[in-house]
Amino acid sequence: MQTRLIGRDMITPDEWTDDELNTVFDVAFDLKRKRALGEPHALLRDKVLAMLFFFSSTRTRVSFEAGMAQLGGHAQFIESKTTQIAHGDTAKENGEIVGRYCDGIAIRQVDWGVGNQYIRDVAAASRVPVLNMQCDWYHPFQALADMLTIFERFGRDVRGKTLNMSWAYASSYQKPLSVPQSLITLATRYGMNVRLTRPPEFKLMPEIEDLARENARRTGGSFEVLDDFDAGFAGADVVYPKSWGATLTTTDTEESRQIAAKYTDWITDSKRMALANEHAIYMHCLPADRNIEVTDEVIDGPQSAVYDEAENRLHVQKAVMALTMR
- The domains of the chain, with CATH numbers, are 13-139+313-324 (3.40.50.1370), 141-309 (3.40.50.1370)
Residue 109's identity, in one-letter code, is: Q
pLDDT of residue 188: 98
pLDDT of residue 320: 98
pLDDT of residue 172: 77
Please check whether residue 163 is in contact with residue 241, taking contact to mean a CB–CB distance below 8 angstroms.
no
pLDDT of residue 284: 98
pLDDT of residue 253: 87
| Preceding omega of 176 cis (within 30 degrees of 0) | no
pTM of the model: 0.98
Low-confidence ranges of the chain (pLDDT < 50): none
Q: Is 48 exposed, middle or buried (0-12, 13-18, 19+ CB in 10 A)?
A: middle
Question: Cα separation of 116 and 91, whole Å?
Answer: 12
